[in-house]
């Protein structure tokens, strides 16, 4: 059994997570955690789940150039590689994921007070990143 894929939508304040099933077919939103607790959360998750790869959303602008958060994500990826050098990391273009996540939440009929929660957008964005990765593999 190869293990699950863990998607990470890294942000400077909050970070969203999504995970696949054991067969790596379905992406499911997990949670959003404050960014300063990301490694603590990953450590706890690795005690419960066999993660075979990390899928990290990599921000670029419409022309494929770095954005104001690209350096933060690159730094995070380096720390992730150093701490978990036995787990491969794949970067995936995350352009439009927040916009798609907001539209998905809006069209799902979720009440306005819940739609305003940024944590929901982050974990849905992580799910979209993960599903995009799965779609590219097949």
**Phi, psi angle pair for 39, to nearest 5°:** -70, -30
The single-letter DSSP state of residue 84 is T
Among 3.30.1360.120, 3.40.50.2300, 3.30.420.140, 3.40.50.2000, name the CATH number for the domain at 4-137.
3.30.420.140
CA 119/CA 32 separation, integer angstroms:
6
- pTM for the model stands at 0.83
Ranges of each domain in the chain: 4-137
Q: Is the pLDDT of residue 36 over 90?
A: yes
Q: How many CB atoms lie within 10 A of CB 117?
A: 12
pLDDT tens, position by position, 60-118: 777 778 888 889 999 999 999 999 999 999 998 876 565 555 565 556 555 555 545 56
Q: What φ, ψ does residue 58 adopt, rounded to 5°? A: -115, 115
Q: Is the model's pLDDT at 2 over the cut of 50?
A: yes
Burial environment of residue 3 by CB neighbours within 10 A (0 to 12, 13 to 18, 19 or more): middle
């Amino acid at each position: 059994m190869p293990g699950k894929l863990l998607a990470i939508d890294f942000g400077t304040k909050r970070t969203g997570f999504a995970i696949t099933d054991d067969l790596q077919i379905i992406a499911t939103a997990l949670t959003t955690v404050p960014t300063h607790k990301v490694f603590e959360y990953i450590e706890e998750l690795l005690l419960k789940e066999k993660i075979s790869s990390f899928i990290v959303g990599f921000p670029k602008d419409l022309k494929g150039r770095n954005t104001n958060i690209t350096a933060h994500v690159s730094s995070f990826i380096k720390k992730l590689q150093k701490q978990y050098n036995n787990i491969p990391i794949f970067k995936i273009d995350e352009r439009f994921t927040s916009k798609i996540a907001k539209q998905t939440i809006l069209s799902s009929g979720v009440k306005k007070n819940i739609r305003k929660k940024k944590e929901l957008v982050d974990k849905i964005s992580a799910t979209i990143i993960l599903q995009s990765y799965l779609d590219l593999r097949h």
